[in-house]
Structure 1
Amino acid sequence: MKLINDDQLTRDNKRFSQWATMLSAIILVLITLDIANDYQEGVALRHLLIEVLILILSLVGVVYFGRFYFQLTQSKIHLLKQDLALAHQQAQQWRETNRELISGLSMQIQKQFDTWQLTRAEAEVGMLMLKGLSHGEIAHVRNASERTIRDQARAVYRKSGMTGRTELSAFFLEDLLPPHQQQQNITGNP
């Protein structure tokens, strides 16, 4: 998966653009106030024209740096959307390729939940925890309070004999992955 690299959109460029835009805007306001004050005092036309020219240059600076910042932000949004679309596509391809395995694993997890005699609600909370959702996210999905979800999670751990989410996940994943020595041979990493 392609990730956004900092060479394309550095924080320094963004920060510079923000400061330059803000500074140009401040100068623009100050010059406008000075021109209005000078005009009321009857300052020479030549002086006013010079200040108007500076005002125009400041306005150009605000527009230029504001546009630069906008384009930088749009580029970042575009790259993030591309990365997200690619991640979704890869996840969908993986699910399609492994549909039978996923279905079989889900059935085996449910059988184990039945063996542990989890209630339907506890089993659903257990499955959502295995998917990586936080208690708050599970509460939102199940339209329940976070306290209820924590209580159900504790019941899952108690009935399963596990100490927490990590051990629960490891219970189901441990046999799916090759042993450490065999994994080193597969990946070629020591």
Structure 2
Amino acid sequence: MQGSERGVIAGVLLLIALLVVMDVVGDLRQGASAWHVALEILAAGLALLGAVHLLRSTLRLRRRLVRQAEDLSRVRAQAEAWRQQARRHVEGLSRSIDAQLDGWRLSPAEKEVAFLLLKGLGLREIADLRGTHEKTVRAQSASIYAKAGLAGRSELAAFFLEDLLVPRADLDPGLTRPAAPPAP
């Protein structure tokens, strides 16, 4: 049930309580029986309690929604700040890779192929993307590796990634599993 619906229902319950109180006053003037008046007072009281309960729960719901909206806004701001920071790092890495590829004296086509290789695309995918033959991409790849003094794709990726992926201090020297905790 939404807040506006709760407000309408609470208003209706308040109106019912008011009408029942007016009826009780009229019944008392006309000398109605005590049980009839008591029953109407109970009905008015229940309608009033229902209205108060709905109004209180609506106010709690609104406060909670305001807090959640504030939390969401804060989280969105943090996420955007993280995206901006990550974008700056990625752009810096891209410029560094580009500078290294220039240092290896790669042609513009070889640089494009090198970036696509680093992204993990296969030779066929690169050829399709660039509108060339797979043999052309294979030859450009071989030229890249020769100019860089690398044996292949894995060494090309490792050249740029090895310094980014430093091992955590809690890993064993073999980097296969976390180090065992010290014995008590």
TM-score w.r.t. the length of structure 1 is 0.46
> RCO greater where, 1 or 2, for CA within 8 Å and sep 6 or more?
1
- Which structure has the greater CA radius of gyration? 2
Given the two structures, how large is their TM-score scaled by the length of structure 2?
A: 0.48
